[in-house]
Structure 1
Amino acid sequence: MKSIKVVLIWILISLKEIQGQSNETKCNEQDKIVDCSHLNLTIIPRHIPIYANSLDLSRSFLGRGFVNNAEAGSFLSKTLRLQDINLSSNKISTIPKELFLHPFKQLLTLTMSHNNLIAFPKFHASIKALQIINLTFNSITDFKYEDIDQNEKLGEVDTLLRGNPLKCSCKRLQFMKWLGQSSRVPDILDLTCVTEKVSHRIMSEVISNLKTFEISCKAKLCHTDAEWVKQFDDKLSSMGFSLCMDSKDFFVGNRIEGNVMNVIDSSRKIIFIITHNFIKSYWESYEMEMTRMNAYLKGREDMVIIVLKDKIEIYNMPETIQNI
């Protein structure tokens, strides 16, 4: 019985080696183009010719190998002159760290469309010739700060993002601002995104709306409570939000009512920070009522946010606050 097991194990190992060898020999080489597509590969063949400038590895199962194989980037042991790499349709969700940390100094185009990527790939610092990164139809919802920084360091590269489940919300404000200001996403007019209310929007329209709503929040507080608001303002600014306050954003010479209405119309959210001093102030209650009525008339009831800083019982609050 023991000898049978040994024979079976030997056969399985032999088959695996044969399969690996056949995978590598099946690649079609023509001129400087190496076509390994449609071969159901789980590893990248090691013997890529040094002279090759185009490598097509599409429509296989490399994603499976990238997860389970610590040597997924072993084909990079040689100095390759690749200008075009196609890894599309490979069920890739994670990329081996060493894969693009290889100095592909001549790499022009990288295609990773129709995979399951959720983040921007990390590249070697010497990769400067790259012109196109195709990330269409993946699972990317946004770019984090490090993703944007990585993209900017690559030089003038076009990043294609169509078909990704992008999200447009306050939490993605930095990403949306970058999309609006950058010329690196040529298919921006084809992008759609999902809002916090799970409605689908055209990304370019959302970005255009962001430019109109330049003020992210208006914090309405009693002036006697203004001491700690500076810290609040600094915190919001570090997160990419702009905070409007009477002391720095009201126009001198304008009536208070006019200033309040201008701020309401140009803000996405109005935050009322409720303290004991706020409740005692006549003007604060008046401005709150103006905000509430304006929001109701314009169908923007969800723009008003109440924050209780002090411990106050509901029955001690003004009727205006209770109604909100």
Structure 2
Amino acid sequence: MLLHLKYLRTLDLQYNNFLSFDEMDRYIIDMLRNTTFDFKGNIFECTCQYIDSLVWLNRTTNVRNNLICKDGTEVSIILQDIHYFWLKCLSEFWLDFSVIVLLLLMVTLLVVTIGYRNKSFVMYLYIKLKARRHIRQREAETRRHYYKYDVFVSYSHLDYDWVTGQLFQYLSNGLSLEVCLHQKDFIPGEPIASEILRCVESSRKTVFVITRNFLASKWSMMEMDIARHHVFNNDNDTIIVILKEDIPVHEMPVSLRKIWWRIVCLKYPQNDSRFEHEVI
């Protein structure tokens, strides 16, 4: 807006809250060459952080020379030897940079020295960690062979037709997986909670078919809690979520949101190839 005021001769900006002149401020003032700007009473930052602003003040001609720094020094005094001020800022930067580099070198040297003096321990630690990783992989592979089911499907009874029809056919016939479902695999007469736990622990993966019906079911919430504890106790990622309806994450149960970063979330009817990859 100011750029259109071609006949503006003086702009009084005394006693405001200007700390420095940013790039836009400098551009506007430079464009209004016939306008005098009065910034008296504004307390300016005269530190190396604002060196660009001070260098600009040294060459501009339409800002009145009555500026004061925060420490009480007149800006004009700094501008009298701006080259010295610039060199001082440059030396401070390189001093800080050198200190940081030196500290990093010292820490690196210390780590290398400690590692060299204790190389047998470092080698032992490396071998132990590598062996532990190998053991975990082997245990996971062993558990995989001993799972009774490939996948346990958790769903609301109101979604029974779709799960036992389309999804079950896809998993069992299309992917040749052993599928665990409430209706066919729960042992009659046993407590539901214990059957849920048995099915989760006997399955490589647990698939939750998330719908509004699922979120309203207390048994579905119990299955989700049991699966969540199973994930953390066994330190593996075994949960797959199928979003059959468009439900935002913030409406998901708290127990599911807590492990959202560890689950595989797929939208139906998309991601068939990814679903096959994650399950198999």
Superposition TM-score, scaled by structure 1 size: 0.35
Relative to its length, the structure with more helix (as a share) is 2
Which is higher, the Rg of structure 1 or of structure 2?
A: 2
Greater RCO structure (CA 8 Å; 6+ sep): 2
The normalised TM-score by structure 2 is: 0.41
